[in-house]
Amino acid sequence: MDFRAKLSFVSVVGALVVLYFASGSPISLYSMWQDELGLTHAQLSMASMWYLLGTVFPLMFLPRISNHLGRRPATVMIMMVSLCGAITFMMVNSPEMIMAGRLIQGIASGLGSSTVAAYVVDLSTDLPRWVGPMITSSAPTLGLSTGAFASGGIITFTDIGATSYFEAVVVLLVVITVMVVFARETMPRSPGLLRSLIPKFTLPENSLRLYAACSMIFVGTWALGGFSQSFSAVIVSEHLGMENAFVSAVVFTSLLLPNALGSFFAKRFETRQAQRWGMGAFAVFTTLMYVSLAYIDSILLFCLFSIAAGISQGIAFTAGVTELMGRATQAQRAGTFSLIYLTSYGGAAIPNLVVGLFSGDMSVESIMFAYIVLIIVMFAILLVLSAKPYPERKAPEVMRS
C-alpha cells in the first residue's frame, strides 16, 4: 500500500467506527433520561426499535447508491446524516426527541452497514482476505461499545453534560468527514442511480443455504444485542439500585466489545465449525447470563458470561460474513452487506418492537427469558442447515487470501 492508500483505508475504517460510536453514545444515558424525562420500559424499547427500524429503509432502498454515486461521496453523505443525529441529542428534552435522534442515527448506521463497509472491503484488497470482513464485522460493536463507554464515563466522572458531550461528537464526525473527502475512490460513478433505488439484494451464486445458516446467527445474536441496548441501564438500576451511566455502559459493553476479539479468532476456524461451535457457545453463555440475573442476582457473573457470549458471537458472525463476502464480486459487495445487515437489524428490531408493544409490566428477567428461547431455536435451525458442507463457489473477483 502507498501512503494515500493507507490514509484512505484508515480514514474509511475510522468513518465506520465513528458512525457507530455516535450511535452508541446515547445508550448508557438512558437511565439518566429515564430519571429526568420519566421514560418507561416500553419507551426505552421503542427508542431502540426506532434506531433499528431506521436502518431498514436505507438497507432496503439505498444499499447500491455508492455503486453509482461513488463510494466517497456516498460516505460523506452518510457522515452528514450521523451529524444530524448527534445535533438532535444535543437538544434532547423529551422522549420523542430521543426517538427522533435514534431514528436518524439508525438511518446513518444502515447506510454505513452497506456503503461504508463495502468501501472498507474495496480498500483492503491488498491485505489478507480476512482483514476486511473482520473490520466490518467488529466495527459496529466496537463503535457502539466505545460510544456507550465514553459517554457513560465522561458524564459520570466529569462535569461535562450531555449537551457538551454531543458537541464533541459533532466535532469528531466533522474531522473524520474531512479525512474521507481526501480518500481514494474505488467505485467510479456510473448511470442507473434511480434503478438502484428499487429494492434488490445481492447474494453470491450458490450461497442460499450458506446465507440461511448465517441468518440464524445474525438474528439470534443481534436480538440479544437489541435487548442489551434497551435494558442494560434498567438492569443496573433494578439490581444495583443506582442510576449510573458508567456502570450501565460497562454492562452494555460486556456483551458487545468482546465481539472484536471473537472476530479476530474467527479466522482460525473453518466456516461451519466456527458457526456451529460459536453459536452453540453463545446459546450456552446467554442462558448463564439469564441464570446469573434471575436466580443468583449477580451483575458480576452476568458481565463475565456476557464477555464469553460476545466472543462467541464474534467468532460465529465473522465466519459467516467472511465466507459470504469471499464469494462476492466488487459490484455485489454493497448489496451483500445490505442483505447481511438487514437480516441482523431485523433480528434486533422485531423482538424490540414486540417487547415495546406487548411487554406491559413484564420484568426484565421475563423479557430476557423470551430472548433466550429465540436464541436456542435459531441454534437448532443452524445445526440442521449446516449439517452438510456448503456448496463451493469461487467469485471471479475475490479478496486476496
Q: With beta carbons less than 8 A apart as the criterion, state whether 99 and 49 touch.
A: no
* pLDDT for 1: 63
- Residues 256-268 have a mean pLDDT of 80
How far is it between the farthest Cα atoms of the chain?
A: 60
Residue 291, burial from CB neighbour count under 10 angstroms (0-12, 13-18, 19+): middle
Is residue 137 very low, low, confident or very high in pLDDT (cuts 50, 70, 90)? confident
Instruction: Give me the amino acid identity at 139.
Output: A
pLDDT the model gives residue 363? 79
pLDDT-derived band of residue 18, with 50, 70 and 90 as boundaries? very high
Residue 76 grid coordinates = 460523506
Give the C-alpha separation, 390 to 215, whole Å.
14
Alpha-carbon span 313 to 376, nearest angstrom: 14
How large is the average pLDDT for residues 28-51?
A: 78
Task: Among 103-112, 127-136, 138-147, 391-400, name the one with the lowest average pLDDT.
Answer: 391-400
> Would you say residue 193 has pLDDT above 50?
yes
Q: What average pLDDT does this structure show over 124-147?
A: 79
Does residue 242 carry a pLDDT above 60? yes
Residue reference for cell 442483505: 339
Centroid of chain to Cα 111 = 12
Which residues, in sequence order, are CB contacts of 16 under 8 Å at separation 6+?
112, 116, 117, 120, 135, 136, 139, 140, 143
For residue 268, count other CB atoms closer than 10 A to its CB: 11
The whole-number average pLDDT for the span 164-185 is: 93
Q: Of residues 255 and 398, which shows the higher confidence score?
A: 255
Q: Determine the average pLDDT of the residues in 365-369.
A: 88
Q: Smallest Cα–Cα separation from 355: which of 341, 368, 373?
A: 368
Q: Are 126 and 5 in contact (CB under 8 A)?
A: yes
pTM for this one? 0.73
Please tell me the least confidently modeled range out of 171-185, 281-295, 323-337.
323-337
Percent of the chain at pLDDT exceeding 70:
90
- Evaluate if residue 171 carries a pLDDT over 90: yes
**pLDDT band at 399; cut points 50, 70, 90:** very low
Q: 200 falls in which pLDDT band (50, 70, 90)?
A: low
Sorted by sequence, the CB contacts under 8 Å of residue 25 that are 6+ apart come out as 86, 89, 147, 148, 150, 151, 165, 166, 169
**Residue 14 burial (CB < 10 Å; 0-12/13-18/19+)?**
middle
Q: Is the pLDDT of residue 395 over 60?
A: no
In whole angstroms, what is the distance from residue 108 CA to residue 51 CA?
10
The answer on pLDDT for 373 being more than 80 is yes
